[in-house]
Amino acid sequence: MSSVGLDSAHRAIDSDFKRSLLHSIALFRGVEPDAIGDLLSRCGRLDVAEGVVLLAPERSNQCVYIVLSGRLEVRLGALESPKIADLHPGACAGEISLIEERDPSAYVVAAEDSHLMVVSHSLLWQMVDRSHQLAKNLLVVLSERVRSDNEFIANRLGMLQQAQRNAVTDALTGLGNRHWMQEMFERELSRAQGTGISLCVVMIDVDCFKAFNDQFGHVAGDRVLGVVADVLREHLRPTDLIARFGGDEFAILMPTSNLDAAEETAERLRREVAEVALPDLIPRVTISVGIAGSNRDDDLNSLVQRADAAMYEAKQKGRNRVIAHR
């Protein structure tokens, strides 16, 4: 993309154009022709080819560009960035940097061959002095630009927040994923050890899940994982942390719980999962559960390993049961 040499490209605005100008441009709408007619004659006209850069953060700006035909694009950060706005005939660019007397905050690029009106810094302020309506229009233009920028920022913030949620959320179950679990479980364990309060980690495995998937297919298997996740959400405390550990395994951290209380809760979860009504062609779903209580010298890995070992013991002893390792 090329930059534009402005001084050599300006041409005077003819009188016939001046009469129709005020009706089509937001900045001049409602302005009496006699108020600024002589000043319009001193404005320039500029033809720019597609790809020409009119405004850039690294260049000072001394003009307002009004689109008479064609289209301009506004881009933030870099010329290669996606556009954040289109400027069609009647719109203007450069007014904010002119008023602030600062370099532009964005790139403005000709999206196609365009014909522009050029209002210099001094002419703009003379027009404002001549016409209260033009001053009002300028405020409206600025307000709309700020609102547009705020909407863009809000949309980008929403996208960022969604991306952050996606980074720590399991897409299938909506529970926290392994990355989220590592951060949140470690934080809660550190807090418990600092205060001397007990907590428990619970590991859950869906019984015979591979055989279930082989027989009924992955769609049915995904549904079973969703059912188990729903039971966990419904029957655990708001303070309990739930994550999909991977595959058909789930992990729960229960703050301020001793082994007896955690075992009682785990038994309730086991019963609730087994009582879920599924279609006749799908057999009853059961889970094996292992629990480990925290010790003063535990880290998260050792705590999860003990809970995992208890869960495998439950599977070896016939599945659909709870084992707690003290």
How many CB atoms neighbour CB 67 within 10 A? 21
Question: Phi, psi at residue 101, to the nearest 5°?
Answer: 55, 45
Question: Phi, psi at residue 226, to the nearest 5°?
Answer: -65, -40
Give the 3-state secondary structure of residue 72: strand
Sequence-ordered strand ranges (E) for the chain: 11-12, 44-48, 53-55, 63-69, 72-75, 83-87, 92-93, 107-110, 114-120, 199-206, 241-246, 249-255, 287-293, 322-325
Structure tokens at 160: 């960022």
> Of the residues 170, 240, 248, 308, which is catalytic?
248
Check if 280 is active-site. no
Distance CA 30, CA 90 (A): 13
Q: Do the beta carbons of residue 57 and residue 103 sit within 8 Å?
A: yes
Structure tokens at 307: 């809970």
Which residues are annotated as catalytic?
Answer: 248
